[in-house]
Homo-oligomer: A and B are copies of this chain.
Amino acid sequence: MVQSMFKIVREPISVEEVTNLVSRREAGAITIFIGTVRELTKGKKTLSLEYQAYDSMAIKMLNLIGEEIERAWPDAWVAITHRVGKLEITDIAVVIAVSSPHRSIAYEANEYAIERIKQIVPIWKKEFWEDGTMWIGDQLETAEYPEGRPSEEG
């Protein structure tokens, strides 16, 4: 494949572009996940967000997730683009597109991808509120590690 399926970008993400990366004649089902900046998290009002990434490692980890999906669901194709930098409410932070001949796999592989992103991809979110800011994740209060810690297989 000439075009990379896994990207970290600084500009707005085109859902269509990510979708086109997985579209093909053999695929009857495409699932797309769009993660947007939402206004309220645990009752607290977010004004804006900043995402920071360890770019080169993030791309490597996205590729690793792609390999994991290829092993688990050989018929699925996956493309992921994550945006970093300053984002406003309703802006798109991440788009995951999965195509597959059959739909159940497209849903499963897509949800697997977002779960893994939240575990092993070195990207961090800083929330800006009216009364302050905080890097999310590195405080016990907001840590969200489904399996305790990032996998160490990567």
Residue numbers of A with Cβ under 8 A of B are 15-16, 19, 23-41, 89-90, 101, 103-104, 106-107, 110-111, 114
Contact = CB atoms under 8 A, between A and B. Distances in A.
A19 B15 contact: yes
B103 A107 contact: no
Contacts of A15: 15-16, 19, 32
A32 to B, nearest CB: 4
Nearest to A89: B25
A29 B23 CA distance: 22
A114 B28 CA distance: 13
Contacts of A28: 35-38, 41
Nearest to A100: B38
Contact of A36 (B27, B90, B111, B114): B27
Instruction: Pick from A16, A103, A106 the residue with the most CB of B within 10 Å.
Output: A103
Nearest to A96: B31
30 contacts: A15-B15, A15-B16, A15-B19, A15-B32, A23-B36, A23-B90, A24-B90, A25-B39, A25-B90, A26-B38, A26-B39, A27-B36, A27-B38, A28-B36, A28-B37, A28-B38, A28-B41, A29-B35, A30-B36, A31-B31, A31-B34, A31-B110, A32-B32, A32-B33, A33-B103, A38-B101, A40-B101, A103-B111, A107-B107, A107-B111
